[in-house]
Chains A and B, each alone.
Chain A
Amino acid sequence: MSRAARTDEGAVRVATVAPQRRVPVVHVHNVGVRFGDAQILDDVSFDLDEGQFLAIVGPNGAGKSTLVKVALGLLRPQRGHAALFGRDAGDVPERIGYVPQLKTFDRTFPATAVELVVTGLRRSWPARPSRREREQAHAALAQVGAEALVDRPLARLSGGELQRVYLARAVAREPAFVLLDEPATGVDYLAEHDLYDLLERYQARTGATVAMVTHDLAAARYHASRVLVLNRRVFGFGLPDDVLCDACLQEAYGHVGHTHVPHTHRHVPRR
C-alpha cells in the first residue's frame, strides 16, 4: 500500500506502509495459572477479533471463570499474558462491559436498578444519580426491555430481571467488548433466550465483540461465531460446527454420555 503526503516544502513524500494487522479485541497468549498444587489453566492461547461472538464452554472446574478473571486483569497469571484491545484490561475499563455471575450478587445491599446501571456510567457507586445519569440509565434499561424496573430494589428482582439490569449496566456506556460469566445461571429458559437475543441486537447495532462463559452447548452452537472448548487447556477453538463435535467434547469433558450437543431447529446464522 502506498501513501502520499505533502511536506512543508511542497515536495511529495511517498511512503510504503505494510498492511497492518488489526489488534485483536482479546489476546490470550500462553496463559498458565496455578493455585497451590492445582493447575487451573495451562498454556491457553487464542485471539478474538472485532465483531465476533465467543462462547467459552467446558466442564465444571475447567478454569472458565479463571480465564475471565485473567482477561479482565483481576488475576495475574504465573505464565503468559492477556490483553484487551492490545493493552492491559485495567487501562481500558471504559471499553469493557462485564456481566458477572449472578451468584455473586449480595441481596442485602440496599440498591435500586437505576443505581446499579449508573455504576456502569460513572464507575463508582452513586449517592444520588444526576438527572443526565438517570436519563442514560433509563435508556440503557429500555434497550434491554427493563425500563419498568428503574426504581425497583435489586433485592426484589427475579433472576431474569436482575440479569437484564446487569446487562443494562454493562452496555450503558456502549462498550466495544461485552464479557459475560455464565449469564444463564439462575434464569429460566425464556429469560436465557431473551438475553441472547438482546446481546445479538446490541452486537448488530454497535458492532461490539461479545464473549460469554456458558454451560449451554446448544446456545453456544446457535449464538456464537467462535467457540473455545476449555478444560484447563484449550481442547478446541474455532467455528462452532468444527469444535462442538462429539469427539472433541468427549475428549474435553472426559466422559461419554454428557457431551452430545443438541441442534436447535432454528437457522444458525454465521458471522
Chain B
Amino acid sequence: MSGLEDLIQAFGFPFMQRAAAAGTMIAVMCALLGVFVVQRRLSFLGDGLAHAAFGGMGIGAFVIVSSGALAQGGALLRNPLWIAVPFALLTGLGIAWVRDRTELSSDTAIGVFFAVSVALGVLFFSRISPDANIGVNVMDLLFGSILAVRTTELAIIAAVAVVATTLLLTLWGRLAYATFDDELARTDGVRSRALEYLLFGLAAVVIAVSATVVGIILMAAYLVIPAAAARIWARSMASMTLLAVVIGVSTTLAGVALSYLFDLPTGSAIILTQALVFVAAAFTQRR
C-alpha cells in the first residue's frame, strides 16, 4: 500500500481525526497569538505560561486525588485542567502586572513565575501516590500526546478556540497598533494597557489548554516558530498573521501525518516540521 493510501486510511481513524482537529485549532490560536508575542519580543512567554500550566496541573491533580473527586463525577470534573487554566491565567496576569508595575524586563518577570510554577508542579505531583489514577501522565504532559486527545479535551479546546479566535480577530487592529507603538496607539484612544492584560490572559488560557496536548516542553515553539517564519516572509502585519496561521496549520497536519507514517513522537514531528519551514524562510529571506 502506498504512503498516500496509508495516510488516507490513517485519517479515517477517529483518534487521528481528533488529533488533526485539536492540532488545527491549537495552531490557529497559537499563530494568532504568536504574531503579537514575537513582535512584542515575548518569545519566552510561551515557555513561562506552559510551565505555569504544569504547576496548575500538579495542583489540580493533587486536589482531585485528595478531595476524593476521582471516585465521583464525570471525566470533565476529574480533569485537572479546571485548576490548571485559572492558575495559568493568574500567572499570565501576574506577569503582565509585574511588567506594568516594576522596571523589570519581561524575561525576568516570566523567569520568576516560570521557576515558581515548576517548583509547585513538582511539589504537588510528588505528593500524589503513584497508584492514584489521575488521568494525567506527567511524561505526556511534558512531551505531549496529541494522538491520545480525548473527546472531552477536544470540546474544551474547541470552546477556548472559539472565544480566543473571535477576540483576537476582533481586536487585531488595536492589538497590532499597540504592538507597533504603544504610546502612539494610546494617543488615538486605544486602551493598550487593558489590551496587554487581555493578551497575557488569553495566552495563558490558550497555552494551558494546548500544553496538555502539545506538551509543555514544545509549547513555546508552537507559539513562536510559525510566527517567526511568517515574519521573515511577510511585508505587513496582516500578511504575517495570515502566513503564521497557514504555516501553523499545515505543519501541524504534516507533523501528525509524518508521526503516523514513520512512528515518530507527534509533538517532535510537528515542531521539527515547523523548524524546516523556518529554516527555509531564513534561507530565502529577501534583503
Contacts and interface: CB of A to CB of B under 8 A. Distances in A.
A90 B238 contact: no
A152 B190 CA distance: 26
16 contacts: A73-B187, A100-B183, A100-B184, A104-B181, A104-B184, A106-B181, A110-B231, A110-B237, A110-B240, A115-B237, A116-B180, A124-B173, A125-B173, A125-B237, A126-B238, A127-B173
A93 B187 CA distance: 6
B268 interface: no
B101 interface: no
B189 interface: yes
B172 interface: yes
A4 to B, nearest CB: 42
Nearest to B39: A109
Contacts of B145: none
A146 B193 CA distance: 33
Interface string A153-196: 10000000000000000000000000000000000000000000
B113 to A, nearest CB: 25
Query: Secondary structure at chain A's binding surface: helix, strand, loop or mixed?
Result: loop
B183 A124 contact: no
Interface residues of B, number: 26
Given A125-B173, A126-B173, A127-B173, A110 B239 contact: yes
A250 interface: no
A125 B177 contact: yes
A270 interface: no
Contacts of A104: 181, 183-184
Nearest to B189: A93
A251 B237 CA distance: 48
A128 B238 contact: yes
A73 B188 CA distance: 11
Interface of B: 39, 172-177, 179-181, 183-184, 186-190, 231, 234-241
Contacts of A111: 180, 236-237
Given A73-B187, A119-B177, 19 more contacts: A69-B183, A74-B183, A74-B186, A90-B189, A93-B187, A93-B189, A100-B181, A104-B184, A109-B179, A110-B235, A110-B237, A119-B180, A122-B173, A123-B188, A123-B189, A124-B174, A124-B188, A125-B174, A127-B172
User: For chain A, which range describes its interface: under 10, 10 to 19, 20 to 34, or 35 or more residues?
Assistant: 20 to 34
A73 B189 CA distance: 10
Given A109-B180, A124-B174, A125-B176, A98 B238 contact: no
B237 A109 contact: yes
A59 to B, nearest CB: 23
Nearest to B171: A124
B287 to A, nearest CB: 10
B103 to A, nearest CB: 10
A108 interface: yes
A153 B287 CA distance: 12
A112 B173 contact: no
A149 interface: no
B234 A110 contact: yes
B188 A119 contact: yes
A72 interface: yes
A124 B190 contact: yes
A96 interface: yes
A125 B39 CA distance: 14
Nearest to B234: A110
Contacts of B177: 119, 123-125
A126 B238 CA distance: 8
Contacts of A153: 235
A241 to B, nearest CB: 32
Contacts of B240: 110
B67 to A, nearest CB: 46
Contacts of B175: 125
